[in-house]
Amino acid sequence: MYKIWLIFQREFLNRVQKRSFLIATILIPLIFPAIISVMIYVMMKQEGSAGIQTVEVYDLSGRFQLEKTAKYRFVPVSGDIEKVKDDFNKSQNFALLYIPDFKLSEPEGIALYTRENPSIRKIEELENILENKIHDLKLEQFNIDPTTLQRLKTDVRLNSINLSETGEEKESNTGALYILGFVLGVLIYMFVLIYGMQIMLGVIEEKTSKIVEVLLSSVKPFQLMMGKILGIAAVGLLQFTIWVVLISTLSTATLALFGVDMPQQQAMEEVSRQMQADETARELLAQDDKAMQVLQSFNEIPFAFIIFNFAFYFLGGYLLYGALFAAVGSAVDSQQEAQQFTFPITLPLIIAYFGLFMFILNDPHSSASFWFSIIPFTSPVAMMGRLAFDVPLWQLLLSQLLLVGGFIFTTWIAARVYRVGILMHGTKINYKVLAKWFMMKH
Amino acid sequence: MEALIAKGITKRYTHHLALDDVSITIPEKTISGLLGPNGAGKTTFIRIINQIINADAGHITIFGERLQEKHIGMIGYLPEERGLYKKLKVGEQLIYLARLKGLSLAEATARSKKWIKKFGITDWWNKKVEDLSKGMAQKVQFISTVMHEPRLIILDEPFSGFDPVNAKIITEEILALKEHGSTIIFSTHRMETVEDLCDHIALIDKSRKILEGSKKEVKDTYKTNTFRIEHRGPFSLGDGHYELLDQKTIDEDFYSSTVRMKEKMSPNQLIRDLTEITEVHSFMEKIPTMGEIFIKLVKGGDHV
């Protein structure tokens, strides 16, 4: 144990004392809020400066008297189409909308001319406007009074409330937890990959610099491997802790700067997608309300629970994959050679990453989500995403138990490959060779 | 007491037998040469002593005790493939390696400084190894091998990479270590080194030990009772106890001849016989060099 501790110290200090560690640890938390601030700033600026854009409407059907919206003003134009196009090109207007005479049942041939490629969002917005207009025209065709129509529209927002087993009602903070779970899941994915690679590179370095033979005359291969894995884990945890502290301090500061405007800003953006001008106000209110709800629910997150689980899955996932990375590092002579072996290791991790998006965040209680969060190779990423959705305790415990078993298992396999591989030079490595090393007496 | 007794060491890899029932005894406070051609199994044997790998069969006794993990600190090992952490400073490196061998932080620091001073390289303390020349790094590596004052020191090709000046410094250190009671095992191909330094020899070839003993014993075993004589005036020997292998002129009527005794007799007898037929100017027994013995055994030996 003492020797593992010595190696642990060495690995830890070596990395922490490096300038690159200091830079990464301090710069990244600075960069993130900076990027966010810049994005918010640009967004605000754009929303402000863009103002209302003018769309010329060349309407042959004569039915499209489009109303002004938050973003677009519609100006009817007529005359020779070639001349209209020519005039449009010389103007500052955003677009020219060409509407042929068409049957309401088959709206075809509508075209949008612009000088630059418009964004998909803008096209969608205009499509929405047209669809709504056609919708209204159709209703009019069926002789439905527009005021009746207005009254038909309702806006329902669900307040999601969980009924806990004790029958107590608690407002679900799904929104906030969803975001948190997603972020933590992705973080674990990134950390395991980045620090796993560090283990591998460290092992390759010891092997290629030949110091390993000197080391092995003093320590057991297992001690060397574990000392390295644990030392790098400590570096990761330290870096992460510093990031959390720095980011939360800086974000608070950043939010204070923009905070007042932010929910409205988001709401504005949402609203701009909505076309009915008269609805804007109501929507704005609703959005604001929703944002408030998310913010409020952040206060209700069981942070101790989340932090414990994050630390657990972070370490568990890291140890599980770290051992495998160490084994790969021990087997190869160079980083290039390692690539063919790192892919199969990272594959389950990548699958877990996609599983997080495809299954867990969509339907956290589906059987796919269940298996993703139980199998040790995917559970560190997947379970973080699921935590938001009240995972049954037995599933959580089973998943954690299997993860512990999982990393003991991979460490055992890795140690057997490592002890042989670390002394082998210039061997052509394939899976058969690795299996042979695994079986070899030492 | 014996520093090391290896008994029946066998190590098999999937496709070949690296060591086949090798038994070697290394007397304490000697310099022993572990010789053998490339691939004979020397490195495997050294790795087994260092507990880097385990033997399939046989056992090793070190200073009277069965080899265990606790003996790690008693052994210093300089592998043939030298290696240090390139990015680590010399001082930190030495301290770290010494601590892995079991020294306390304070002790490791004190001894590192002492050795650095001894070698006159104090200003290297804060240099990274990657900034040192190959010879400089070798010195650092040598220090790391002996710093924990091991009773058994195993040096694999210790002089490779050293210029003659530094090789001499290292040689002196090795002899001083022996004086202080350490036992040293050399693994080398350089026969001059063996000739100059070793007291004891073990030769491994094709996974087997084929020769072992003190240098004198070995040489006695392999000497051929051949003598080189410089003399004035030619002579010839009949079909007696002697055989004239070679005779050539050195200068005018000075000759150099090689004579072999057909059976073991006193050299004095040969001198007596020679003085009767020629004027002897010099007389010397031809003792085989370690290189000659090595080549003879490894090449044409009866062990296949």
Helix, coil or strand: residue A188: helix
Top residue of A3, A213, A434 to mutate, by most chain B CBs within 10 Å, is A213
Query: Alpha-carbon distance A81 to B266, whole Å?
Result: 129
A264 has a pLDDT exceeding 50:
no
B6-63: pLDDT as tens digits: 999 999 887 788 899 999 999 999 999 999 888 888 989 999 999 988 889 999 999 9
Specify whether domain B2-220 bears CATH 3.40.50.300: yes
Query: Alpha-carbon distance A76 to B142, whole Å?
Result: 91
Q: Determine which of A132-136, A293-297, B41-45, B207-211 has the lowest per-residue pLDDT on average.
A: A293-297
- Beta partners for residue B208, in sequence order: B205
Domains of chain B by residue range: 2-220, 224-286
- What would the two tokens of residue B252 be? 């005018």
Q: Which of B54, B83, B100 sits opposite A218 (nearest CB)?
A: B100
Query: Alpha-carbon distance B112 to B90, whole Å?
Result: 9
A323-379: pLDDT as tens digits: 999 999 998 888 888 888 888 888 998 998 888 888 887 777 888 888 888 899 999
Q: What is the pTM of this model?
A: 0.73
A403-426: pLDDT as tens digits: 999 999 999 999 888 988 888 877
- Beta partners for residue B1, in sequence order: none
Burial of A53 (0-12, 13-18, 19+ CB in 10 A): middle
**Are the beta carbons of B79 and A210 separated by less than 8 Å?**
yes
Residues from chain B contacting residue A205 (CB–CB below 8 Å): 86
pLDDT at position A442, please?
64
**Are the beta carbons of B83 and A216 separated by less than 8 Å?**
no
Residue B124 contacts residue B136 (beta carbons within 8 Å): yes
What CATH architecture applies to the domain A52-150?
Answer: 3-Layer(aba) Sandwich (3.40)
Phi, psi of A233 (to 5 degrees): -60, -40
Q: Which of A3, A209, A216 sits opposite B85 (nearest CB)?
A: A209
Top residue of A17, A214, A220 to mutate, by most chain B CBs within 10 Å, is A214
**Are the beta carbons of A14 and B87 separated by less than 8 Å?**
yes
Give the E-state strand segments of B233-278 in sequence order.
242-251, 254-261
Query: Alpha-carbon distance A155 to A286, whole Å?
Result: 9
pLDDT at position B287, please?
86
Domains of chain A by residue range: 2-41+173-439, 52-150
**Residue/partner pairs of A212-215 with CB below 8 Å, 24 or more apart:** A212/A422, A212/A423, A212/B83, A213/A423, A213/B52, A213/B77, A213/B79, A213/B81, A213/B83, A214/B77, A214/B79, A214/B83, A214/B84, A214/B97, A214/B141, A214/B144, A215/B100
Q: CB neighbours (10 Å) of residue A380?
A: 32
